Amino acid sequence: MAYQNIAASLSPQDIQEIKAALQTVQKKMPFLITLSTEERRKLVKMGDKSLAFVNNSITAAQSNREILPATFDVEELVQDYQLAAALTELLTSMQQLTEQVDDTLMAVGSEAMTSSLTVYDYVKTASKKTPGLKTVAEQLGERFKAIGKGKSAKTPVS
């Protein structure tokens, strides 16, 4: 669908229900962890192409248990693979949702900034003739004091 002006809102109840749903998702996966950058760097990675390799290694392990050390836990390998496959599927869905939220946030933020820039332009112009607007114009103008020379007020950085 092509982007059009977004005219929507979320009620406080909607926000609470969405947060509760996200908490439910987290509660369903109490095993989730957070890795440090160093830990991530050290781990052997399994991507999409590796799923078939792992699946084939499970078949080989199940068919040839006698060649593996007695301490090797084939069932744990199967469980890890099944969890990895399930998490891959969930991650894809979550990434799609995150991308939509991010794109919508960018678009609606742009709409708000564009409208605010229009208000600022009118306030600046009107402040020259309308008493009491000079302070408002200065307050709104604070947003652009950090922008260096050569940058347009129409394309704010943040």
pLDDT at 33: 97
DSSP state of 43: S
> In the predicted model, what is the mean pLDDT of residues 24-46?
96
User: 153 or 133: whose pLDDT is higher?
Assistant: 133
> In the predicted model, what is the mean pLDDT of residues 130-155?
77
pLDDT at 147: 64
132: left (phi over 0), alpha (psi -120 to 50) or beta: left
pLDDT at 48: 81
Percentage of residues of the chain with pLDDT beyond 90: 81
> In the predicted model, what is the mean pLDDT of residues 67-95?
96
Percentage of residues of the chain with pLDDT beyond 70: 91
156: left (phi over 0), alpha (psi -120 to 50) or beta: beta
Helix 133-141 to helix 74-127 angle (10° resolution) is 150
pLDDT digits (tens, 9 = 90+) for 100-141: 999 999 999 999 999 999 999 999 999 999 988 999 999 999
Nearest to 56, CA basis, from 32, 73, 76, 81: 81
User: Domain boundaries in the chain?
Assistant: 49-144
Arithmetic mean of pLDDT over the chain: 91
> In the predicted model, what is the mean pLDDT of residues 138-149?
80
Evaluate whether 143 touches 154 at the Cβ level (below 8 Å). no
CA atoms within 13 A on the CB side of 48: 3
Q: What is the pTM of this model?
A: 0.75
pLDDT at 143: 87
| 1 pLDDT tier (thresholds 50, 70, 90) | low
pLDDT digits (tens, 9 = 90+) for 45-70: 998 889 899 999 999 999 999 999 99
